[in-house]
């Protein structure tokens, strides 16, 4: 029993620390996932607080994990762990059963779990946390209360700094398909032997005065007296989906994706929502745009906002370069900055910068 308690303490503590650090590495991405949950539960009014909630959860998870390993404030930690895992178990079960959110975001983009995998993971964690909760009186602290307080405060400050750093710059480790070194065209390829989507047709026929459901194998059209009402196609099993499946660039409904990805050198300005983009940073990019024009370097600004909003923004801030359209989710995935800057060479991502870290024009163009 004592060995199982030690294993439970170590496993839960380390898992919470890893989960918190991975999410803290990309709090903006985690906030997008939380916003998705809020919308599913009809809590759209809470979406503006998604980032604050994401930051709080990340720091809290790291702190819980460390304090559990240290044996610090074990009664408080036991209750906190139990309440958190019960809440998240309900959340993952709801997502899995109703197929509302396809990825829980527990480990960010580092490890994708299906809804049922997430629920299973939470059930296993629930078992170990219940064991810890029941045996909390047997868990001894490794340090004195004074030493505990100093360590806990240090961990809290370090966690806050790490979250601030990754938010104000870019994630320390990029797990997305648009990481530096990745080739966008290659990420869009589908292997010849890739698994295909499996669909099932549901047929609706009126029989004996009431509408009934039939499968294709039942061939309802051969049933005497059956009258066709409707047919719906249901996805039974998801096939292979390439890491990059929604990247495209268009202007005035003309697709220019291939020309941009084949350019020897190109700079992409990412501003997924023109109303939320940093205006001062966007103004600085005008100099890069002019320098690129002089040297024949491809320069493209991308946004998912409407032409009307973009025109107002350009006029108010004296922005010289035009914007092209790309899907908002894609732009959010490419770089966690609004605006952000991406350098590609023949489709391969060479550099990515947060607007707080834009290099000098000379360095970018030379």
What is the reported pLDDT for 262? Answer: 92
What is the reported pLDDT for 115? Answer: 77
- In this structure, is the dihedral angle defined by the CA atoms of residues 104, 107, 111 and 117, taken in order, positive or negative? negative
What is the reported pLDDT for 337? Answer: 95
**Closest to 284 in 3D by CA, of 232, 341, 337, 227:** 341
80 CB-near residues (< 8 Å, 6+ apart): 60, 64
Residues of the chain scoring pLDDT < 50: none
What is the reported pLDDT for 104? Answer: 67
- Give the whole-angstrom CA distance, residue 5 versus residue 13: 12
Give the helix ranges, DSSP H, for the chain.
Answer: 2-24, 27-40, 50-70, 74-98, 115-134, 145-168, 184-187, 257-261, 279-295, 307-317, 328-334, 361-365
The predicted model scores a pTM of 0.84
Burial label, 110 (beta-carbon count in 10 A; 0-12, 13-18, 19+): middle
**145-168 and 50-70 helices cross at what angle (nearest 10)?**
150
Domains of the chain, each with CATH number or no CATH: 2-168 (no CATH), 198-237 (no CATH), 250-365 (3.40.30.10)
What is the reported pLDDT for 38? Answer: 86
């Amino acid at each position: 029993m004592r060995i199982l308690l030690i294993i439970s303490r170590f496993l839960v503590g380390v898992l919470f620390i890893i989960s918190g650090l991975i999410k803290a590495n990309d709090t903006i991405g985690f906030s997008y996932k939380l916003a998705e949950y809020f919308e599913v539960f009809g809590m759209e009014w809470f979406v503006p607080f998604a980032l604050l909630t994401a930051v709080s959860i990340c720091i809290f998870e790291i702190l819980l994990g460390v304090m559990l390993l240290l044996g610090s404030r074990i009664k408080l930690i036991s209750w906190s762990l139990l309440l958190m895992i019960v809440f998240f178990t309900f959340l993952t079960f709801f997502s899995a059963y109703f197929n509302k959110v396809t990825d829980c975001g527990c480990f960010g983009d580092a490890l994708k779990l299906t809804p049922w995998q997430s629920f299973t993971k939470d059930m296993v964690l629930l078992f170990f946390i219940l064991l810890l909760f029941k045996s909390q009186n047997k868990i001894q602290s490794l340090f004195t209360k004074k030493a505990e307080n100093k360590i806990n405060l240090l961990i809290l400050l370090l966690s806050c700094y790490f979250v601030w750093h990754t938010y104000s710059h870019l994630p320390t480790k990029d797990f997305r398909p648009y990481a530096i070194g990745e080739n966008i065209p290659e990420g869009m390829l589908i292997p010849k032997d890739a698994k295909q989507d499996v669909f099932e047709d549901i047929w609706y026929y009126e029989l004996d005065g009431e509408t009934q459901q039939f499968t294709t194998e039942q061939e309802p059209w051969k049933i005497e007296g059956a009258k066709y009402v409707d047919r719906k196609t249901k996805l039974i099993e998801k096939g292979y989906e390439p890491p990059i499946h929604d990247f495209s660039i268009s202007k005035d409904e003309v697709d220019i994706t291939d020309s941009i990805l084949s350019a020897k050198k190109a700079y992409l300005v990412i501003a997924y929502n023109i109303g939320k983009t940093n205006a001062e940073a966007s103004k600085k990019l005008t100099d890069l745009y002019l320098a690129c024009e002089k040297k024949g370097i491809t320069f493209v600004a991308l946004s998912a906002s409407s032409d009307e909003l973009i025109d107002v923004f350009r006029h108010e801030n004296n922005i010289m370069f035009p914007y092209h359209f790309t899907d908002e989710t894609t732009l959010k995935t490419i770089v966690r900055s609004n605006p952000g800057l991406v350098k590609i060479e023949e489709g391969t991502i060479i550099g990515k910068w947060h607007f707080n870290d834009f290099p000098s024009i000379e360095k970018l163009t030379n």
